[in-house]
Amino acid sequence: MDFDSPHLPRRTFLRGAAGVAVAGGAGLLLAKAAEAQTAPRIYSCAEWGARPPADALTTLDHPANRILIHHIASANSTDYSLAHAFQVARDDQHDHMDNNGWSDTGQHFTVSRGGYRLEGRHGSLDALRGRTTMIQGAHCPGQNTNAIGIENEGTYTSVEPPEAQWASLVVFCAYICRQYGISPDEIKGHRDFYNTECPGDRLYAKLPQLRDEVRASM
């Protein structure tokens, strides 16, 4: 419809413009609703009771282009509760700040053995939702300005992660790939870029499967 036409009655014009505005608004709401439905539940730093960062964190003016998979190298707990997941996040932050001397949790996100997803480094969740920036991490030298680090609770040198954790990790990686436009081929392990056993032989061996499952779910 040509809204600049001199032959269009004013009342018709106003009705038409209002209809387009309503339709546009409805489309925006539907788009936001669809995005909300595809976004997995991620618990923020505030929700699990994080300490404030010791120093100001750096927001980088570009999206991430890679995901790095880690394991915490912690006990393979059979407590799969949300309360336990929160405690894991707090313990990890204490270790990174008090023992490593870092400003905050080193990785951007954590996945508990019960499958709960948690923000690690402050600001990472907002950056992920915004899609255009990322928080500089401290999870792998040479990768902290471009890769999203995901710690997985547990030690996976001789056992595989439990199904709930694995399924949650697949969903989470797919969401991160969609948000940042990352190819599933860029889901890598910590040891690919650093001399470490992380993320453990058994979890590392599953990374091709992780890439395939993420690709299939996108």
pLDDT, one tens digit per residue, over 17-61 is 444 344 445 454 444 444 445 899 999 999 999 999 999 999 999
Domain ranges of the chain: 59-216
pLDDT, one tens digit per residue, over 200-211 is 999 999 999 999
Q: Which residues contact 106 (CB under 8 A, 6 or more apart)?
A: 96, 100, 120, 121, 137, 138, 139, 149
pLDDT, one tens digit per residue, over 77-96 is 999 999 999 999 999 999 99
Residue type, 66: R
With bands split at pLDDT 50, 70 and 90, how would you rate the model's confidence at 176? very high
Provide the pLDDT for residue 38. 82
pLDDT, one tens digit per residue, over 83-139 is 999 999 999 999 999 999 999 999 999 999 999 999 999 999 999 999 999 999 999
What span, in angstroms and rounded, lies between the C-alpha atoms of 188 and 177?
13
Contact call for residues 88 and 79 (beta carbons, < 8 A): no
- Helix spans in 105-161 (H): 124-130
Contact call for residues 40 and 117 (beta carbons, < 8 A): yes
Contact call for residues 108 and 135 (beta carbons, < 8 A): yes
Write the class of the CATH domain 59-216.
alpha beta
